Amino acid sequence: MNEHYEKLMKCFDCIQKKVTFKPELALILGSGLGDYADTMEVAETLDYHDIEGFPVSTVPGHKGRFVFGYAGGVPIVTMQGRVHYYEGYAPQDVVLPVRLMKLMGAKTLFLTNAAGGINRSFNAGDFMLITDHISMAVPSPLIGDNIDELGVRFPDMSEVYSRRLRKIIENSAVTAGVPLRKGVYLQTTGPQYETPAEIRAYERLGADAVGMSTAIEATAARHAGMEICGISCISNLAAGISANPLTHAEVQETADRVAPLFKKLVTQAIVDIHNA
């Protein structure tokens, strides 16, 4: 058996022995947005440490557990703390949680992140609906023997972020009264923030926002046939667009400041996706 599939099934077997909840949607929370789970009606939780073979996150501000419960009455699973490529995990390990959530029953993947704004019309604190992504020097999580049980060898990526879900979320934003931008997200490996020259290059490539997650997870989720949507919280203007040096503290401060609006938007979107 494929080694990554073997590891995946081992984790899944372990989860099945501990959790009975059946989520409909999987929500991944970005930097500073991790307290979304506080607004949920929690049914069960499972620490990553308690899953044999599961990659565990080290970033300050990231809790490491799956939270199972209801958001606006919809059964979901969220990851409180995600795994990043820059932490040193293999790309296949970075996407293991996404694959697990698919196996748990989630058909939809809702990705969120904190990102630097490249588009010059963006402000810190804006939300951006992700329309597409660019993966910049991040190795594909699909490299190696294909996991035929999950998807095909050469998956199509022409609509990673579902047009159907994007329409729903644009309406959710109107209902929730939360302004929503749209744009292309570019993932770098990190962990360093970008140079101004890199940001100018990414701007020319067509990126509106930059961060260190999401594209890799979306790639694996698309491979596995999930329907995907994503929202970035523009936590800062990218290097060279802002005159200030970037800090993780600034990213978290902005995310904390806009967290109430973010939660409102995400919950509305989850309810609308469920009802559509």
Residues near ligand HPA (CB under 6 A) are 114-116, 193-194, 210-212, 235-236, 238, 246, 251
Greatest pairwise CA separation for the chain in angstroms? 52
* Residue number, 57 or 236, with CB nearest to ligand HPA: 236
User: Rounded to whole angstroms, how far apart are CA atoms 116 and 118?
Assistant: 6
Clarify whether 84 is annotated catalytic.
yes
Active-site option among 114, 124, 173, 259: 114
Active-site option among 40, 57, 84, 185: 84
Active-site option among 31, 135, 172, 232: 31
Give the position of tokens 């926002």.
209
Least distance to ligand HPA from the beta carbon of 65, Å? 22
Clarify whether 274 is annotated catalytic.
no
- Tell me the residue number closest to ligand HPA, measured at CB: 116
Clarify whether 57 is annotated catalytic.
no
Active-site option among 79, 212, 238, 255: 212
Closest CA to 265 of 105, 80, 39, 47: 39
Clarify whether 223 is annotated catalytic.
no
* Residue number, 159 or 256, with CB nearest to ligand HPA: 256
Least distance to ligand HPA from the beta carbon of 110, Å? 18
Clarify whether 114 is annotated catalytic.
yes
Least distance to ligand HPA from the beta carbon of 114, Å? 4
User: Rounded to whole angstroms, how far apart are CA atoms 152 and 248?
Assistant: 38
Clarify whether 52 is annotated catalytic.
no
Clarify whether 41 is annotated catalytic.
no
Active-site option among 57, 119, 172, 213: 213
Q: Give the three-state DSSP class for 5.
A: helix
Q: Give the three-state DSSP class for 182.
A: strand
Tokens standing for 38? 């506080």
Clarify whether 173 is annotated catalytic.
no
* Residue number, 203 or 272, with CB nearest to ligand HPA: 203
Least distance to ligand HPA from the beta carbon of 193, Å? 5
Beta strand segments in the chain, E: 25-28, 41-47, 65-71, 74-80, 108-117, 127-135, 181-187, 209-211, 227-237
* Residue number, 92 or 232, with CB nearest to ligand HPA: 232
Clarify whether 87 is annotated catalytic.
yes
Least distance to ligand HPA from the beta carbon of 238, Å? 5
- Gyration radius (Cα) of the chain, Å: 17
- Please check whether residue 218 is in contact with residue 160, taking contact to mean a CB–CB distance below 8 angstroms: yes
User: Rounded to whole angstroms, how far apart are CA atoms 55 and 49?
Assistant: 8
SS3 content of the chain, % helix, strand, coil (to 5): 35, 25, 40
* Residue number, 108 or 254, with CB nearest to ligand HPA: 254
Active-site option among 85, 220, 236, 239: 236
Query: How far, CA to CA in Å, does 106 sit from each of 23, 55, 154, 227?
Result: 5, 20, 22, 9
Clarify whether 62 is annotated catalytic.
yes
Would you name the residues annotated as active-site residues?
A: 31, 62, 84, 86-87, 114, 212-213, 236, 248
